[in-house]
Structure formats: C-alpha cells, structure tokens
Amino acid sequence: MTVRIQASLFWSDAGVVDDPSAVSFAKLMRLASHDDHGGRLLSEWFHRFATTPHSERALPAQFIDDVARAQGADPSSWDLARLPFVVTGLHNRIDLAELEAMGHCGEFRVSVASTDPTLQPFHMLFLFRQPLAPDDTVSGRVTCEGTARRWARLSTLSGQALEDALRQAFAERLTREQFLMVETVEQSLSPWEWRQWVKAPSATALPFVLENPPLFQQLDVERLNAPGALRTDFLSWMASNAALAEARRLPLPERFRPQSIRAASGVPRQALSLAGLEAQVLTLHPLLRQQLEVVGCAACHTTDADFVQTRADRTISPFYAKELEARARHLEALARGEAPTAPFGPLQAMPLLPP
C-alpha cells in the first residue's frame, strides 16, 4: 500500500486546522490542564518564561498580562478561543515509535503559531503519546503494525469517508491522558530560542505547572566548549561512544544538555568543538560533530529550515518536506510488520548536515 502524506501523516488544510470541533488552541490548553480549561496553567506558563534562571524572556509574560487586562484578573474565566493563536498543522509522528522493551507508537503533534503583532514569531508544538494497541505486539514483540495499518488505511480513503475517519482519529489522539509536553521555538526576543515544557510539581495553587527539562538530544554547546571538568567528562565519554553517536543511535545524558538553546538569525551558530578527542577517533568518524549537532533542536531547525518547520502560513520547510517523504516509506514498512527502527534526528537518508 502507498501512503499519501496528506491522508496519513500531515494535515494543514483549513477544513481541519480551523475547525474548533476538531482542534484549537483552547482545546489543547484544556487537554494540557487539570481543570479542563487551562487559563490558569497558561498564565503560570507564560509568566515562567520571564523567571527561569537559564533564560529570562519578558514578552510572553507581558502578553498574558495584557490578556488579564482585557479579559479579567481570573484566568479560569478567560475565553481562550479569543486569543491570537492559530493551529498550523497536525503531525503523525509514528516514526518515533519505541519498539524496544514495552514501548509505544510514537507521538501525535499539533503545531500552533501566534498571530499577535507583538508576540512574534512564537510557535508551540503540543505532543501527545500514541500508546500501544493490542495488535501492536506480535508474539510478544512490539511492532506498532496495528496502529500503522490504521494510519496507512486512511490513504485508501477520500472525500467524506476520509474526513470522517480523520475526525475520529484526531479525537482518539487528542486526550488528557496522552498529553506529553509542549515545545516552543520563538524569537519574542532575539536570538531564537527552543524549550520543552513538561508538567512539574508546583508551589502555586495548581497541581502542576510547566517547567523546562534538559532539552532532548540537544548538547549544551557553550558549556561543553569551555575548558573544565564537564568538557573533560564529555570528551572521554565521546571517545568510547563515537560510533553510536555518529550513527545517531546514542541517547545523550542529561548532564550534557541545556534547558534552553539559542541561535541567532544571520549569525553562524557556534559549532561543537571536538578538539582534544584522539585523532584516530576523529578520522574514523569524520561526521561525528555534525551528527551530534543535527539531533538537537537548534541545528535541525536551522540547517535545511529557516528556524521554523511549519510556518504561520502553514507552508513547510524544505527539511520537513523531505522528512515527510521518508516518513511515508517508514509508515509503509511499519504497516507491513517489518518493525523498522529510526535513528535520532532526521529520518531521511541523506539529510543536509550543519556546516
């Protein structure tokens, strides 16, 4: 079966993304929150941008203070549908399936952009887990083939039948139980910045707020490049893991990862320095630095993309267009029960690498 991207992998047509009964920013905040509204969580979250020790950004907090002036001091009474955020796309990330151990079938994601003239550019990505279904395990082995077959089957439908099936698929994916986290990429203040936001215990009246964990697979280039104990630790760890790292199969430990990363427009990004690593390791693994960089937020969003992958006008980066082709072939293989496993970072066979 041939997977069609616009039926099984990525949806950005107005009929879907502008239909609040299917998806909306207000609905996403409802699902992320404990109170089925999300106003209070949103207020805490946007204020948090200004107080995290690793980076302080005032604009999201100012934006939410303006909302309070317009809609009242109690965030739980705000009408979140009136806020200037548009859904830019729905993304099937079954390629992130974890087939080892008792894993999962990847993620379902919704991207959202600000249309506010001041809070700009400002993009969010809401992540939901795709859990294992009973037919995703065959003879005790996780394959995700049941879930893959259901996504792939959408490619055989069209018209009203496809619309109805999509509506049901989205409703199954967008639930409070499956909500994982939010990611942001924004330039409310120069330079651009990436963060992840996960539920964390709270000192406020809320049961949880959103906080920044160490960024997934993003190295803390600035701190690692500086001489000292962390750099020594990193280089000796790299010396014994270079092959896996160059193949993009190596999970990067938290101690080497920052809670936010930045890259400026028009200025070359600071490259990771591997100086001091044995010459033999560098000769054996000539693409080690670039492969280590491209699994992180900043390099992947700037190498074959202009900081953003799904733009506010719902067009996509060159990187994402090629990635979708690779994801289509990957979904077909999953649906055939072949249990292919993806590396970290790009799925496409020959991604453009950072300079």
Rule CB under 6 A: say whether 323 interacts with ligand HEC.
yes
Question: Measured from the CB atom, is 177 or 313 closer to ligand HEC?
Answer: 313
Tokens of 171: 């409703």
* Residue 93 lies near ligand HEC (rule: CB under 6 A): yes
Instruction: Compute the distance between CA of residue 302 and CA of residue 290 in angstroms, rounded to an integer.
Output: 13
Structure tokens at 12: 């950005």
Q: Does 106 bind ligand HEC (CB under 6 A)?
A: no
**Which token pair is 78?**
């705000």
CA dihedral 236, 242, 248, 249 (to 10 degrees): -80
Pick from 39, 75, 146, 346 the residue near ligand HEC by CB under 6 A.
Answer: 346
Q: Is 114 in the site for ligand HEC (CB under 6 A)?
A: no
Indicate whether 92 belongs to the interface with ligand HEC (CB under 6 A).
Answer: no
Instruction: Specify the stretch interacting with ligand HEC by CB under 6 A; choose among 188-196, 219-227, 248-256, 276-284.
Output: 188-196
d(CA 302, CA 85): 23
Nearest to 345 by CA among 214, 219, 261: 219
Minimal distance, residue 138 CB to ligand HEC, in Å = 27
Residue 183, interface with ligand HEC (CB under 6 A)?
yes
User: Distances from the Cα of 193 to the Cαs of 57, 206, 226, in angstroms?
Assistant: 10, 27, 21
Q: From the CB of 123, what's the least distance to ligand HEC, in Å?
A: 4
Site string for ligand HEC, 218-257 (x = CB under 6 A): x---------------------------------------
Per CB under 6 A, the list member of 215, 224, 242, 342 interacting with ligand HEC is 215
Q: Does 304 bind ligand HEC (CB under 6 A)?
A: no
* Positions 266 through 295 that interact with ligand HEC (CB under 6 A): 295
Which member of 296, 302, 334, 348 binds ligand HEC (CB under 6 A)? Answer: 296
Under 8 Å between Cβ of 349 and 287: no
Which one of the spans 63-71, 180-188, 275-283, 333-341 is the region binding ligand HEC (CB under 6 A)? 180-188
Task: Enumerate binding residues for ligand HEC (CB under 6 A).
Answer: 91, 93, 109, 111, 123-125, 183-185, 194-196, 215-216, 218, 295-297, 300-301, 308-310, 320, 323, 345-346
